[in-house]
Structures are given as C-alpha cells and as structure tokens.
Chain A
Amino acid sequence: MAKVLLKDLNKKYDEIHAVKNVNLEIRDREFVVLVGPSGCGKTTTLRMVAGLEEISSGEISIDGRVVNDLAPMDRDIAMVFQNYALYPHMSVYDNMAFGLRMRKFDKPEIERRVRRSAEILGIHALLERKPRQLSGGQRQRVALGRAIVRNPRVFLFDEPLSNLDAALRVQMRVELKRLHNRLETTAIYVTHDQVEAMTLGDRVVVMKDGVVQQEGEPLELYGRPVNRFVASFIGSPAMNFVEVAIIPADGGLWADAAGLRIKIPSKKQEAVQRYAGRRVVLGVRPEALRVASGADPAEYAFDTAVEVVEPLGNEILLDVRAGAHAMVARVDPATRVRVHEKVRLAFDPERLHFFDPGSEAAI
C-alpha cells in the first residue's frame, strides 16, 4: 500500500529526450495505466520508478520517501515483465521463492507465502515444473505469483499481456482486475493497448513523445479528450475526424465541408466563435452517428454512400463516405443496409468535438 509521486520527471539519453516533465500522483491502492504508442516514454517512466533506469532530473517518491538513489531492491516494488523473465533454471517454486530468499525470510514463511500465492493464482499444481514446461498463460501467472509473493508496496507491470493470444489476454485482464480488487496494492501498468488501459485502469494516463497528454478516469478520457491525439488513441474504432470550415450564417455557426454541412450546437457556439471563417477539425465518435430518421433535425444530418458493412453481431460498423471524407458509424444491429447504398446519417449534437487544426487541442 503506497502512494507514488512523480515530480518533473525527465529522462534524456544522448540525443533523445524520452520523458519530459512528467508529473503524476498515484494514490494509495490505485491502479494507474500508462498508455501510448511505442516510443512514447511510458516504459521508460515505469523503469525509472523501478530503479532500472537512472533519472535525468526530477524526483520519484514512494510513500513520501524519495527513492531516486535507491537500488531497485530497496524500493519494495515488484515488476512483471513483458517476456515474464522467469528464471529458466529454477522450478516455479524457486522462481517465486527467490525474492523471499534474497530477503532472508525463514523457510516455513517462504513455504507458506509461496503456497498461498500459488493458491490465489491457481498454479499450486505447477510448483515443481520448470518454466519451459509451462504454457504462455501459466508463465504469466507464475510471473504474477513472483510479484505478489513478496507483498510489495507497488506493482509495476510492463505490457504483461502482450505476449498472450487474444482470448487469453481478455481472460488474464479480468483476472488481473480481480487480483487487484483482492490485494488492493498500488499498481502502475504500462500498455500500448487502449482497451487494456480502459478496462484495467482506475485512472489512465495517455502519453505521447515523452509528454503526458491527459490523465483521468477512463470514461472522462473517452468523453472529454483534451486533444486530437487522445481522442484518436482512445476508443475503437477510432474517432472520425473531418476538417471543416466554420461559417457564420442564419444567426448561427455552421461547420462546412464537401458533402457535409451541420450546425454548431449552441453549447459549443461560444468556444467555436473565434474560429469563424477559419478551419477546425470536427471529431465524432462512431457511436455518435446514427441512421437518420424523420425526427432528426436536418441541420445535423448528411448523406453518405456505404462502402463497407461490418456486421459484428451486437452492432454494425458502416464505413461510409461523405464527400471526400471517410467515416465509420456504429449503428444498431437491426439496421438493414447494403454496400453502395445511400444512407442518411445524423450526428448526436451533444457529442461533437472540435479541435484546433494547428495545436490539435480541444476547443
């Protein structure tokens, strides 16, 4: 149980500035996910917390104690690596007991803790095996077991699920969440998979090019992204973006692009006002588009041609084209649409996003 604080954290390699002024507060018992594309500095940040990477400048503290100059072993953390890093020459039992032996626990206590952790993870039948005799999922569990057996103050996860196949990944994701609910240990989790980030994190931190773009609860990131990058990174299929011109007309503001003309909702008018006569990027999530019915006001509807229909069972994804713009709409599975058909779609005016085309910040 611990609070982790990152203050003005920087990491510079010879030419690369990998992590730039990261400030984060991870609260006690919280599960925080760092997410971003590869090379965004998330793993480097995690490794600095672990003590595997030197800190160029800034400060990391765990429970109020600055750990910058502490060796990894003295930080009371446990880390799960992407490739599991199981000691190949040791049995599962020895793998799990290694950390306890290094810390001079006595034998009965080691035995008790290993058995208990193995019980929690359902690997008690595997204790005598060597890592190479285990399947991917089993190895993953052993790696987790090795982490929980020491009862550390903080868990660090470095893309622990990315070596598993899709089905197993979903299953382990749920188990991880359950494990966290049970143990309530502060956890920092790094992944490039936004679904993992959204499902696991109490809070999600989106990073890009070494800079924290936004941090917040998953739904907050989804509903109110602060910039175009976060908007496009979170959510699958990704948000649709259309570059539009803002035109004042009929006493209101209109977003205009080839094949598309919609009214700016009154709530957004004030913010968009200063872009009048200029271009902005309109963002709309696939589920904020629906097949228009007679009840939909004309100022939020537009005509498209359906290019691809992806029936997923619980929903249908329509890849449509309005003028020059390709968009994806997530529509009701009962919708009957065929390829090349014309279909009229309507925006949900409450869920329109606008981004500055230069800074890409949300308007």
Chain B
Amino acid sequence: MIEGAKWKKWLWFYLPMGMFILALLFPFYWMLVTTVRPDSELYRPWNHPLYSPFWTSHPTLEHVKNLLYETLFGVWMWNTMFIALAATLISLFCGVIAGYALARLKFRYAGLLGTAIFITYLVPQTLLFIPLADIIRDYRIGDTPWALILTYPTFLIPFCTWLMMGYFKTIPKELEECARIDGATRWQAMLYIVFPIAVPGILSAGIFAFTLSWNEFIYALVFLSSPEQKTVPVGVVSELIRGDVFFWGPLMAGALIGSVPVAIVYSFFVEYYVTGMTGSVKG
C-alpha cells in the first residue's frame, strides 16, 4: 500500500484504479444503454436538441423482444452452449490426462513433447482454419455442431495440457508416493489424491476453455453456414448486420445476453480460478 498523505493515496491509487475501472466497464454500459434505447433516440443526430448519448429517457425492451422473436437467437444460444460444453469437456479430459503424464511419468522425450504441445498452441487460428476446412469437408461434418466440437480442441487441448502440467508439478509427488505405499494403485492415487487437490487447476482450465469456445469466431464463421446452426457471436453479426445496415439495438442486446453465461461461470468459480492461477498446496 502507498504510505503517507491521503491525497497521495488518492492520486496514485484511487484515481488510476477509477480510470481503469471506467475504461473496463464502459463497453458494458454502452451495450446496456444501447439495448434499452428506442430506435428514435438511437438514430437521433448529434446536433438534435435532445441528443443524449450516455442516457436514455424512454427505456424499452423492444430490441430484446426483436432479438428473441425475430431472429434465431435462442437456437444460437443453445448451439453455443452445447458446442462450448462439449468442446470443453473433451479438451479438459484430454488436457488433464496429458498434463498429468507430462508432469509425472518419466518417459523419453517427455520434455520435448511438452514443448511441442505448447508450440501447436502458438499456431494462429487464422492460419489453421484453411487446412481444417479441408478436413471438415472430407469428413462431411461441415455445417454441423461437430465441425466446431472437434476443431476447438485443437487449440483447447494444448492450452489445458499446458496449464494442468504446470499445476500438477506444484503438487508434491510424495503425496502420490505416500498413497501408493498406503495401498492405492496409480489410478487410485490420481483419483483420490491428485485430482481432488487439482480441482482449482481443473476448474480454471475448464473456465478458460469454456470462455474461449463460447467467444470463438473464425472457425464458427467458416465451418457453419445455415442460420440455425450458428453460434451467438457469428449469428448476431451475420444476421443483424445486413449489408451496411447495423441493427444496433438487437446487436447490443445479443452481445449483452450472450455474455451473461460467461459472467455467471466466472463469478461462481472466481476463487478457485485465482488459486488455480497462483499455485496449490503448501505444507
């Protein structure tokens, strides 16, 4: 903490903090205001006498209604949820197992393999979608949820593996050794000792994977084409921007509602998430 006069604390702590919070939260506020603003206000020119960009005097749920009844938003939400959950579960399962193996089992090239997995994570999606599109066409899963459920793990598994590997390394190996002397097999030691201790790590990997899949745009844009297959980020953008016309109200309503599940997930697990990022057991 900053010592000394009160004004110093204000100047060096509260002020920068306030500015940071303002910058961070403003887009969300803008999203909210635009969602509840009637069209008449939304398209009012700046020199109109009643122009008020930061406030609305006639809040309305018209855009939300429009979004829910005029578009396939509900279907998109469901698609996104299903795809994100499935991709997360697959990636988490593989990541936890692979991370454990890389952290604990002694085998040739373990270090090399770990690095190689990390490098695959560095290949940008914007390059990878081209060969992946080919594969998806060959397996005839284009325009189905499986196109995404099976491609998201290409970047989620390396991420989860890497994160879990780091987490497993922080768990003293004596715990497992002790369990094995106590009469547990390696699987039992993993199941009863290592995994319960690794819950914060597993949860943060899961949250991360879920958020990445939920917000993913490029693969979803390329691999899905029919409106009823789309995910929220793609659906909102492709169906609510027609030519050069932006339907700002429904767009913002879609963004707002679309970000709710992620916000809920984070607020539920924030404590685990923090411990997951900062290490595990002491003593």
Residue from B175, B184, B282 in contact with A85 in the complex, judged by beta carbons closer than 8 Å: B175
Question: Which residues in B have their C-beta under 8 angstroms from that of A83?
Answer: 172, 174, 283
Bound-state Cα–Cα, A99 to B184, Å: 8
Question: Which residues in A have their C-beta under 8 angstroms from that of B42?
Answer: none
| A78 contacts B281, C-beta separation under 8 Å | no
Chain A nearest CB: distance from B276 CB in Å?
Answer: 15
Bound-state Cα–Cα, A83 to B176, Å: 13
Question: Which residues in B have their C-beta under 8 angstroms from that of A50?
Answer: 177, 181
Chain A nearest CB: distance from B271 CB in Å?
Answer: 15
Question: Which residues in B have their C-beta under 8 angstroms from that of A73?
Answer: 180-185
Bound-state Cα–Cα, A268 to B191, Å: 64
Bound-state Cα–Cα, A88 to B196, Å: 9
Counting contact residues on chain A (CB < 8 A from B), the size range is 20 to 34
| B196 contacts A89, C-beta separation under 8 Å | yes
| B178 contacts A79, C-beta separation under 8 Å | yes
Bound-state Cα–Cα, A86 to B175, Å: 7
Mark interface residues in A86-117 (1 if CB within 8 Å of B CB, else 0): 11110000000011001100000000000000
Chain A nearest CB: distance from B117 CB in Å?
Answer: 24
A residues sitting closer than 8 Å to B (CB atoms) are 50-52, 71-73, 75, 77-79, 81-89, 98-99, 102-103, 131-132, 139, 146, 150
Interface centre among B172, B174, B282 (most CB of A within 10 A): B174
Contacts A72-B177, A83-B174, A85-B177; A99 near B283 (Cβ below 8 A) = no
| B283 contacts A81, C-beta separation under 8 Å | no
Bound-state Cα–Cα, A83 to B184, Å: 20
Question: Which residues in A have their C-beta under 8 angstroms from that of B183?
Answer: 73, 99, 102-103
Interface centre among B172, B181, B193, B283 (most CB of A within 10 A): B181
B residues sitting closer than 8 Å to A (CB atoms) are 172, 174-175, 177-185, 188, 192-193, 196-197, 281-283
Residue from A72, A88, A99 in contact with B197 in the complex, judged by beta carbons closer than 8 Å: A88
Contacts A98-B192, A132-B282; A72 near B174 (Cβ below 8 A) = no
Query: Given A50-B181, A73-B182, 20 more contacts at CB 8 Å?
Result: A50-B177, A52-B181, A72-B177, A78-B181, A79-B177, A81-B177, A85-B178, A87-B175, A88-B175, A88-B281, A88-B283, A98-B179, A98-B182, A99-B181, A102-B184, A102-B188, A131-B283, A132-B282, A139-B283, A146-B182
Chain B nearest CB: distance from A335 CB in Å?
Answer: 46
Shortest Cβ distance from A131 into B: residue: B283
Contacts A88-B197, A102-B188; A81 near B178 (Cβ below 8 A) = yes
Question: Which residues in A have their C-beta under 8 angstroms from that of B180?
Answer: 52, 71-73
> Can you report 5 residue pairs joining A to B where beta carbons are below 8 Å apart?
A73-B180, A87-B175, A89-B197, A98-B184, A139-B283
Bound-state Cα–Cα, A78 to B177, Å: 11
Question: Which residues in B have their C-beta under 8 angstroms from that of A84?
Answer: 283
Bound-state Cα–Cα, A98 to B191, Å: 13
| B177 contacts A52, C-beta separation under 8 Å | yes
| B182 contacts A81, C-beta separation under 8 Å | no
Shortest Cβ distance from A132 into B: residue: B283
Chain B nearest CB: distance from A234 CB in Å?
Answer: 29
Question: Which residues in B have their C-beta under 8 angstroms from that of A81?
Answer: 174, 177-178
Chain A nearest CB: distance from B201 CB in Å?
Answer: 13
Contacts A83-B172, A132-B282; A77 near B196 (Cβ below 8 A) = no
Shortest Cβ distance from A102 into B: residue: B183
Shortest Cβ distance from B177 into A: residue: A52
Shortest Cβ distance from A158 into B: residue: B174
Shortest Cβ distance from B176 into A: residue: A85
Shortest Cβ distance from B180 into A: residue: A72
Question: Which residues in A have their C-beta under 8 angstroms from that of B281?
Answer: 88
Question: Which residues in A have their C-beta under 8 angstroms from that of B174?
Answer: 81-83, 85
Question: Which residues in B have their C-beta under 8 angstroms from that of A131?
Answer: 283
| B172 contacts A85, C-beta separation under 8 Å | yes
Bound-state Cα–Cα, A98 to B175, Å: 12
Chain A nearest CB: distance from B196 CB in Å?
Answer: 5
Shortest Cβ distance from B182 into A: residue: A99
| A102 contacts B182, C-beta separation under 8 Å | yes
Shortest Cβ distance from A150 into B: residue: B182
Shortest Cβ distance from B192 into A: residue: A98
Interface centre among A71, A82, A139 (most CB of B within 10 A): A71
Question: Which residues in A have their C-beta under 8 angstroms from that of B282?
Answer: 132
Bound-state Cα–Cα, A71 to B183, Å: 9
Question: Which residues in B have their C-beta under 8 angstroms from that of A51?
Answer: 181
Bound-state Cα–Cα, A132 to B185, Å: 26
Pick the 4 closest A-B CB pairs, nearest first.
A102-B183, A99-B182, A85-B174, A85-B178
Bound-state Cα–Cα, A85 to B192, Å: 14
| A87 contacts B283, C-beta separation under 8 Å | no
Bound-state Cα–Cα, A132 to B181, Å: 22
Question: Which residues in A have their C-beta under 8 angstroms from that of B188?
Answer: 102
Chain B nearest CB: distance from A189 CB in Å?
Answer: 16
Question: Which residues in A have their C-beta under 8 angstroms from that of B185?
Answer: 71, 73
Shortest Cβ distance from B175 into A: residue: A85
Chain A nearest CB: distance from B260 CB in Å?
Answer: 32
